[in-house]
Structure 1
Amino acid sequence: MTNGSDERMAVTAAAASLVAALTLAPLVKGGTWLFAAAIMVLTVMVSGIVGRQLARGWWPAVVGLQTVLLFLAVVVLFARGELINPPGAVQALQEMLQAGMNVTQSQSPPVDAERGIVLLVAGGAGLVALAVDILATTFRQPALAGLPLLAMYCVPAALLEDGLPWYLFLVAAAGFLLLLSADAGDRVRAWGRVLASAGQRTAARPGGDTALARGGRRVGLAAVAVAVAIPAVIPGLDNQLLGGSGDGDGSGGTVITRINPILDMRRDLNDPVDTDLLQYTTTVANPEPLRIVTADEYDGRTWKPSGKKIPRANNINDGMPSAPGLTAAVTTESATSDIQIYRLRETYLPLPYPTVQVSGLDGEWLYDPDTLNVIGNKVDTTQAEYRVSFLNVTPNSRQLANAGSPPQEIVEKYTQLPDDMPESIEEITRDVAGGGSQYEQAVRLQDFFRRDGGFRYDTRAPQNEQGDGSASAIMDFLDQRVGYCVHYASTMAVMARQLGIPARVAVGFLPGSVQSENTRIISSRDAHAWPELYFQGVGWTRFEPTPRDGQAAPEWTVPESEEDGTTTEEDTSTTTAPEDSQEDEGAAAETQTPEEEAAATATQSSGGFSVPWQPVVAVLVLLLVLATPRTASALAARRRWKQAKTPPALAAAAWDDLRLGLSDIGVRWAASWTPRAVRQRLNDDYQLAPEQAEALDRLVAELEDALYAPPSDLDGRSAEERKQDVALIVGAVAVQKSSQTRWRARLWPASGLSALAGLGAWVTSKFQRGSGSSDDEDSAARAKVGASS
Structure 2
Amino acid sequence: MRDGSDERMAVTAAAASLVAALTLAPLIKGTTWLFAAAIMVLTVMVTGIVARQLARGWWPAVVGLQAITLFLAIVVLFARGELVDPPGAVRLLSDMLQAGMQVTQSQSPPVDAERGIVLLVAGGAGLVALAVDILATSFRQPALAGLPLLAMYCVPAALLDDGLPWYLFLVAAAGFLLLLSADAGDRVRSWGRVLASAGQRSAARSGGDTGLARGGRRVGLAAVAMAVALPAVVPGLDNQLLGGSGDGDGGSGGTVITRINPILDMRRDLNDPVDTQLLQYSTTVLNPEPLRIVTDDQYDGRTWRPSNKDIPRANNINNGMPDAPGLTSGVATTEEESRIRIFRLRETYLPLPYPTRQVSGLDGEWLFDKETLNVIGNEVDTTQAEYTAKFLSVSPTSEQLAGAPEPPKDIVDRYTDLPDDIPQVVEDTAREVAGNGTQYEQAVRLQDYFFRDGGFRYDTRAPQSEDGDGSASAIVDFLDQKVGYCVHYASTMAVMARQLGIPARVAVGFLPGSVQTENTRIISSRDAHAWPELYFEGVGWVRFEPTPRSGQAPPSWTIPQEEDDDSTTSEDTSTTTAPETDDEGASSSSEAAVPDEQEVAAGAQQSDGFSVPWQPIVALLVVLLALASPRAASSLATRKRWRRAGTPPALAAAAWDDLRLGLSDLGVRWAASWTPRAVRQRLNDDYQLSPEQAEALDRLVEELEDAFYAPPSDAPGRPAAERKKDVALIVGAVAVQKSSQTRWRARLWPASGVSALAALGPWFTSRFQRGSSVDDSDDLDPDTDGATRPPRAPQQKAGSGAR
TM-score by length of 2: 0.42
TM-score by length of 1: 0.43
If asked which structure has higher relative contact order (CA below 8 Å, sep 6+), I would say 1
